Amino acid sequence: QRQTLFAAAVICPLWFSAQWTFNASLGMTSVSSNTVLSNCSGIATFFLSILVLKEEFSATKLASVLLCMGGSIMYTLGDNVDNLGKSSSTLSGYLIALL
């Protein structure tokens, strides 16, 4: 039980912060852009699994993560062009969504 309590004490503030920034950025971006950006956790997961879990690095895994990130970046840039002049808070919304 002690380990569970410790894990919850560590994870709960991180989870709360992630949910708060996601919801805060919804008011500054489109829902579709927000969803794409918030689902870009693959790159963090990839590097953390290599550093913390000592998972083996491979070019295939890196290429997969980079392709996913490239798609997200292209969508975000395209959405930014579509919303040009509509909102001055879009960039700050994107940055908050990435937190």
Class of residue 75 by CB neighbours under 10 A (exposed 0-12, middle 13-18, buried 19+): middle
Contacts of 63 (CB under 8 A, 6+ apart): none
Confidence of residue 88 (pLDDT cuts 50, 70, 90): low
Rg (CA), the chain: 16
Contact 99, 14 (CB under 8 A): no
Helices within the chain (DSSP H only): 2-26, 31-38, 42-51, 59-82, 90-98
Give residue 34's pLDDT. 75
Confidence of residue 82 (pLDDT cuts 50, 70, 90): low
Flag whether pLDDT at 90 surpasses 80.
no
Confidence of residue 85 (pLDDT cuts 50, 70, 90): low
Give residue 84's pLDDT. 56
Give residue 43's pLDDT. 81
For 18-69, what is each residue's pLDDT tens digit? 888 888 888 787 777 777 777 777 788 888 899 998 999 999 998 988 888 8
